[in-house]
Structure 1
Amino acid sequence: MTNSDAPAPAEPQRRAPAGAAVLRSDVTEAIRKAVFEELAAVGFARMSIEGIARRAGVGKTAVYRRWKSKLSLVLDLVSAFAAQGLPVPHTGSLYGDIRALLAVASLALRHPVASQVIPDLLVESVRHPEIADAIKKALLDGQKGVAAVVVREAVERGELSEGADPDRALDLIVGPLYWRLVVVRGDLPKGYLDDLATSAVAALKATG
């Protein structure tokens, strides 16, 4: 048998680099869930990696493999929330679009975890510019994009005049709801969202 006929030597199996860890997705999700619960329970200032790990049922190492600090963990969660975005309604009318946005926003703001986490992070954003930037993207930038679509389509249908301001639309749509649910923490009377949508439409038509 010539050298050319000799079977090629078997290639050695490749091993994962020493120290490399496979990050299990179920553990990652358990940690993320624990962060929201810990934020709601004790707030950002008192939240600790130890508390998060204990609530998630994992060791601290599992948390530190994924995030270097509680700040980076919270920023990651806020950014993930921003990436989901709000659905853009296409109901065929300005009132229908605004009413649909109010329905989604009210559900989010009434969630027991969100109602605790959002105000706390807004307070912390004064001391942590990174949190302020992340919240801006999560709570403002995405919603501004949705409001811009709603206003543009209303202009195309002739419901609003050219030059209608999406920023003002967002203030009129979400501002009163946020004040009622997050600041005042009051209940929503029956028909409140319908009345708020009607008022927002009237105000937008009067101003643009």
Structure 2
Amino acid sequence: MDELAGSGYARLTMDRVARRAGVGKSAIYRRWPSKQDMIVEVLARLSIPAGPVPDTGSLRGDVRAMLQSVFDWLTDPRIRAVLPDLIAESDRNPVLAAAVAHHVTRPRLTWSRTALDRACDRGELAADDIDLVQDLLIAPIFWRVTHTRPVDDQYLDRLTQLTTGGR
């Protein structure tokens, strides 16, 4: 993960990974037959659950908690370095794209879906809006973090308000 964060996917080599790990290259190849296989395992580590699904009793409270969780995840220095590079590489590599979808995107959508389904059950959100709200949970924060624009509590509060239809 550290080598990937430091060099990016395109420049990552098994030699450099072996050197960083203090082992021979053959030891790396015994564990992962290719760079791609190694990166798929890294992606599995990126998919560590985002914590318990928020259950504040309200859509607004749950959305604010989810936005905070997304911000915390995206500002982890290694995630911030690795994720944009892997997304870009996924455009050229269908196996990597499938791994990103399976290990990063799908678990986070499932995580947020639980809270949003509860909001639907309470009558606070239309089922047709779940996909859009999920987009709003990550896209604005991802954009700001990757373009070095500030994200603070005031921004997250305002994004919560706009996402949940408040003024």
Q: TM-score, normalised by structure 2?
A: 0.90
Secondary structure of 2:150 counterpart: coil
Runs of 4 or more consecutive aligned structure 1 residues displaced over 4 Å after TM superposition: none
Instruction: State yes or no: 1:111 paired with 2:76.
Output: yes
Code of the residue aligned with 1:154 in structure 2: it is: A
CA distance in 1, matches of 2:69, 2:87: 21
| 1:179-198 residue CA offsets vs partner (Å, 9 max, x unmatched) | 1112x122214411111111
Code of the residue aligned with 1:37 in structure 2: it is: D
Q: CA deviation at 1:202?
A: 0.8
- Choose between structure 1 and 2: higher helix proportion: 2
Q: Kindly report the root-mean-square deviation, in angstroms, between the aligned alpha carbons of the 2 structures.
A: 1.7
> Which runs of 5 or more residues in structure 1 are unaligned?
1-35, 204-208
Identity %: 36
Code of the residue aligned with 1:199 in structure 2: it is: L
CA distance in 1, matches of 2:46, 2:62: 22
Alignment of 1:3-18 (within 5 A): none
Instruction: Please point out which of 149, 152, 164 is paired with 1:201.
Output: 164
CA distance in 2, matches of 1:92, 1:123: 37
Kept after mapping to 2: 8 A contact 1:147/1:167: no
Instruction: State yes or no: 1:170 paired with 2:134.
Output: yes
Code of the residue aligned with 1:52 in structure 2: it is: V
CA distance in 2, matches of 1:138, 1:202: 31
Q: TM-score, normalised by structure 1?
A: 0.73
Size of the aligned set, in residue pairs, is 165
Kept after mapping to 2: 8 A contact 1:144/1:166: no
CA distance in 1, matches of 2:75, 2:109: 21
Corresponding residue of 2:41: 76
Instruction: Please point out which of 81, 97, 115 is paired with 1:132.
Output: 97
Kept after mapping to 2: 8 A contact 1:102/1:174: yes
Corresponding residue of 1:185: 148
CA distance in 2, matches of 1:97, 1:195: 14
